[in-house]
Structure 1
Amino acid sequence: MNLRQIELLRAVVRCETTVRAAQELGLSQPAVSNAIKHLESQIGFPLFERVNNRLFPTAEARSLYKDSEPIFALHAAFEGKVQDIKENRAGHIRIIATPPLGYGVLPSALRNYLAKRPKVRVSFDVRRFEHVIESVENGTAELGFVMGLDDDRGLACETFFTGDMVCVMRPDHPLAAKPTITPEDLRDVPYIALEQGTRMGTIVRNAFAQAGAPFRFSVEVRYCNTACVLVESGVGVAVVDPLSPVFSGHYDLAIRPFSPASEVRASAVRSRKRPISRAAEAFLREVRLVAAETATKLAAPELSARYSTSKCHP
């Protein structure tokens, strides 16, 4: 099975009809239909079940589709590199981050970076943790930025910020009068939880378990940024990473330390197989500077956070 055949298979799986697959590939419908039949004859087993002019992929076809994802991710990265060379850009870096960093530290670092290097082009995306790690692994992103990395996943990583989770609430909320918030304080108030199974969600649940307090919530969300929006709207209070409420300047929130202290780290990840470019290294330096400035802000009397830079491996 060659790359063109795999591309055709993937198009038909996505589109479910040869007509739409043909439109996507710029081919005629008979050409796609004949190609699928030829492919099935060549490999010796059916790839689709045909029902009412629609094609339903077999388990084998779905498995091939899933396993072909890395191939086309690498192909997309290669095409992107060719385009960069063709356009003779002064520099081009591809970065990707999870929401707490993508909506916080990175925009500030990117502003400073581009002010000094206006000819550099940046591809920037904000995705879920798993997608960030995958993009760095397969080369579609040069640098990834994540919160709560608990292992290096075979990647080179640098922790550029370490702090403790904080509790956020509206300034007029009764809990805003307390210097520190504990799980027991959250027992009888509407609470916005971070989704179970996520890294931030697990950190907070462990803190409740450590304090021996019941974990109850009114609303569950995936991202700390979403929790901050709901808190400002008066839905309840939340425990989030220390960066999200600080960088979301439009939020009118009271921020208080959360006890027991629940540490969270912000890390930059890169492939061990490919050295990052000079342009990417320069951007990483800007990220470190913004993180250091943020740590100073978080060291104010009403907040406690710790900052450090370290390598995951010596």
Structure 2
Amino acid sequence: MNLRQIEVFRATMLTGSTADAARLLHVSQPGISRMIGHIELQLGVSLFERGKGRLKPTPEAHALYAEVEQVYRGVQRIDARAQALKSGGGLAVRVLATPSLLLEIIPEAVSSLSARYPDSRFYVESQLVREMVRLLSIGEADVGFSSLPIDHPPLVTEAIGSWSLSCVFQKGHRFEQESAVSLREIVKEPLIAFSPDTPQGRMVAQAYPRAIDPGRQRIEVRSGQVACALAAAGAGVAVVDSLTARAWPHDRLAFRPVRKAPSTQVFMVRNPHFPASALEQALVERVRQGFRALRRGPAEGKAGSDV
């Protein structure tokens, strides 16, 4: 029996007549009658006793119906799984990201999708760009998010958001009274500076090549989280990426945008040789929405001189 025959036989068993089965399946009554006759001929057994417009199932029909119900439930499960796959459920996605992107936006996107699709699986790793390129190139990861542009065939990139610079400081600092802080004011404070070879250090040096006096850089770090921890402890002020500043617990630390600070793009990276699943596409869209929400947040500061 094929699936259409199973469907017709089941409808007839449920309704007790070919006319009602036809209405249930939205087909003609003669078509149902012909199908039942064909099934009986094919099986070589009588499935129904005919009389007075009704069909009385034979013992053979009841035995067959028990098996048909199991098949039908299996078909329903297949259909349910197909619908779940279409919307992202029942899938797995391996996500790579540079550290600052894993502090808020990507965790919120993963959390939202994990709650929406409880049978999905997410593998999330913090990776440097070099390892991200390797894993994506050989298909051992599905999608990456990077604060640095990546030009490495066959990988493709797409800008999905941006971050800027913020000044972090201990709560109660005078900067807390400002909506944004200029570099002219920042350089008057004891500075927690990034090493020159870090992305943050290069960005500050390129944006303000002559503004910062190395003699005022009392402490040097390589991590935005370490800079925030030191600022929260009162060791000085630091210029960090806005993503790290936003994600840090603010019971001891405060931050303000750096006035007229440049923006840096964030990129989605993937290997086009491996098609994206619905779950991966949903994740990328949630991350994109997260960055849109950042842009709709408070203004980056009042207009004015940046030094």
TM-score after normalising by structure 1: 0.61
Q: What residue number does 1:106 align with? A: 106
Aligned partner letter, 1:175: F
Q: Partners of 1:279 and 1:302 in 2: how far apart? A: 33
Q: What residue number does 2:284 align with? A: 284
Q: Name the SS of the counterpart of 1:131 in structure 2.
A: helix
Q: What residue number does 2:163 align with? A: 163
Q: What residue number does 2:117 align with? A: 117
Q: Partners of 1:195 and 1:277 in 2: how far apart? A: 39
Larger radius of gyration: 2
Q: CA-to-partner distance for each residue in 1:156-199, whole Å, 9 max, x for gaps? A: 11222123211111231233344443333333422122232222
Q: What residue number does 1:214 align with? A: 213
Contact 1:176 1:256 in 2 (8 A): yes
Q: Name the SS of the counterpart of 2:140 in structure 1.
A: coil
Q: CA-to-partner distance for each residue in 1:258-288, whole Å, 9 max, x for gaps? A: 2452211222111233222222111111212
Aligned partner letter, 1:204: V
TM-score after normalising by structure 2: 0.62
Q: Name the SS of the counterpart of 1:218 in structure 2.
A: strand
Q: What residue number does 2:137 align with? A: 137
Deviation at 1:135, TM superposition (A): 2.4
Corresponding position: 1:153 with 2:164? no
Q: Partners of 2:175 and 2:250 in 1: how far apart? A: 21
Q: CA-to-partner distance for each residue in 1:267-311, whole Å, 9 max, x for gaps? A: 2111233222222111111212222223222xx14658xxxxxxx
Q: CA-to-partner distance for each residue in 1:226-266, whole Å, 9 max, x for gaps? A: 22222112121111111112133455433222245221122
Q: How many residues of Structure 1 are paired with residues of Structure 2 in the alignment?
A: 212
Deviation at 1:208, TM superposition (A): 2.4
Contact 2:259 2:301 in 1 (8 A): no
Aligned partner letter, 2:152: R
Q: What residue number does 1:296 align with? A: 296
Q: What residue number does 1:223 align with? A: 223
Q: What residue number does 1:79 align with? A: none
Q: Partners of 1:181 and 1:136 in 2: how far apart? A: 39
**How do residues 129-278 of structure 1 correspond to structure 2 at under 5 angstroms?**
129-147=129-147, 149-154=148-153, 155-209=155-209, 211-215=210-214, 216-250=216-250, 252-278=252-278
Contact 1:204 1:262 in 2 (8 A): no
Q: Partners of 1:235 and 1:125 in 2: how far apart? A: 31
- List gaps (5 residues or longer) in structure 1: 1-88, 305-314
Deviation at 1:151, TM superposition (A): 4.5
Aligned partner letter, 1:96: L
Q: What residue number does 1:33 align with? A: none
Q: Name the SS of the counterpart of 2:283 in structure 1.
A: helix
Q: What residue number does 1:91 align with? A: 91
Q: Name the SS of the counterpart of 1:266 in structure 2.
A: strand
Q: What residue number does 1:53 align with? A: none
Contact 1:100 1:244 in 2 (8 A): yes
Q: Partners of 1:176 and 1:222 in 2: how far apart? A: 25
Q: Name the SS of the counterpart of 1:113 in structure 2.
A: helix
Aligned partner letter, 1:271: N
Q: Partners of 2:196 and 2:143 in 1: how far apart? A: 27
- List gaps (5 residues or longer) in structure 2: 1-88, 303-307
Q: Indicate the percent of aligned positions where both proteins have the same amino acid.
A: 27
Contact 2:103 2:243 in 1 (8 A): no
Aligned partner letter, 2:136: V
Contact 1:160 1:288 in 2 (8 A): yes
